[in-house]
Amino acid sequence: MKQNNRVIKRNRHFRPKECIFLVLKLAILGIFAVTTLAPFLWVLLSSFKTNSEIYGQPFSLPHQYQIDAFLQAWKGGGLSQSLINSLFYCAMAVMLVLILSSMTSYRFAKIRPSKALYAFFSFGLLIPLHAVLIPLNVLYSRIGLGNTRTALIIAYAVSNLSMSIFILTAFMRNLPDELLQAAEIDGCSGFQAFARVGLPLSKPALATAGMLAFVNCWNDLLLGMTICSKANLHTISLAVYNLRASFSDDYNVLTAGITIMIIPAVIVYTLFQEQVIQGMTAGAIKG
């Protein structure tokens, strides 16, 4: 692909008409990029301003960068507790879903394929969360898991399980059998071949599936809202949502809250961009 591009560029002669078109195209793309980023920039800038500044000059730079709003959202808005909660839920759910799905995918790809069972797990891809939300909550309270961290972590893991198995099985099918067989000949048990050879080779797919699960859990509102309603268990989404009730006119606190919530997602996106994009579009784009 890259080579092809180079060939075309070399063959193409410089023409002013094309140059104008290129500038035009870049301008249109640039405008859309600005409309994509502008709201976030407004939030970021507003979080450092005072309220009267936001209302009076909504688009100006802060006269003086203040972090009062962050402190207020952090302490008064309960974002400190819910940020830790959400990080914990996400980390545990991602770990759980990766452990479960990597084992099951390895079985489908390398030990004993089963079309029927694989189709059964894939069925989960078609089910909207909404259809299972109410009975899931009923089930949790019946088995004594109502309003617990465990319940939410399980719900996050299970809701990402099908997709994760889909991503990992597709990847593991392409792992070379020879390497895994060689490991077993060298005295590894079946499990050791999986843990020492299969898993390390599957790192790219694990990253993709893990990133997808993280983004889904971090951004979830509905599951967190219905499963963990006790204040000390709130997710970050619910805390930011609740900020609006307690700080309805304090735009700087609200924008600070949004900023706090967005930062982890943006950091993850900046560091693992390709994995995040691959994970989120895995259902559409194969490979």
Partner 1 sequence: MKTALPAIGKSSRKRRETVLVMAFTLPSLVLFVMFMIVPIFGAMYLSLTKWSGAGAIKFIGIDNYTNLLHNRDFWISFKNSLILIALHLIFQLTLALFFSYLLYRTRPGMRFFRSVFFLPSVISATAIGVMFSLLFNADLGPINYTLHKIGLDSWALPWLSNKTTVLFVVSFIIIWQFIGYHVVIILAGMKAIPEEIIESAIIDGANTVVLFFRVVYPLIKDMLQVSIIFMVTGCLKAFDHSYVMTMGGPGVSSSFLAVFMYKQAYSRQKLGLGSAAGLVILLLAFICTRIINWIFYHKDEESVT
Residue whose tokens read 């719900």: 155
CB of 214 vs partner 1, minimal distance in Å: 10
Q: Which amino acid is at 201?
A: L
Stated as kind and residue range, the H or E segment containing 242 is helix 236-246
What gap in Å lies between CA 251 and CA 253, rounded to an integer? 5
CB of 231 vs partner 1, minimal distance in Å: 17
Residue with smaller CB distance to partner 1, 207 or 277 = 277
Residue with smaller CB distance to partner 1, 68 or 184 = 184
Residue with smaller CB distance to partner 1, 178 or 249 = 249
Query: In this structure, what token pair is assigned to residue 253?
Result: 């606190």
What gap in Å lies between CA 92 and CA 98, rounded to an integer? 10
CB of 260 vs partner 1, minimal distance in Å: 9
CB of 91 vs partner 1, minimal distance in Å: 17
CA-based end-to-end distance of the chain: 16
CB of 79 vs partner 1, minimal distance in Å: 12
CB of 174 vs partner 1, minimal distance in Å: 18
CB of 20 vs partner 1, minimal distance in Å: 13
What gap in Å lies between CA 108 and CA 114, rounded to an integer? 6
What gap in Å lies between CA 68 and CA 51, rounded to an integer? 11
Q: By C-alpha distance, which of 254, 252, 249, 259 is closest to 50?
A: 252
Asked whether the beta carbons of 111 and 148 are under 8 A apart, the reply is no
Residue with smaller CB distance to partner 1, 200 or 287 = 287
Q: Which amino acid is at 17?
A: K
Q: By C-alpha distance, which of 155, 171, 267, 148 is closest to 220?
A: 155
Q: By C-alpha distance, which of 227, 233, 228, 239 is closest to 132?
A: 227
Residue with smaller CB distance to partner 1, 179 or 271 = 271
Asked whether the beta carbons of 69 and 53 are under 8 A apart, the reply is no
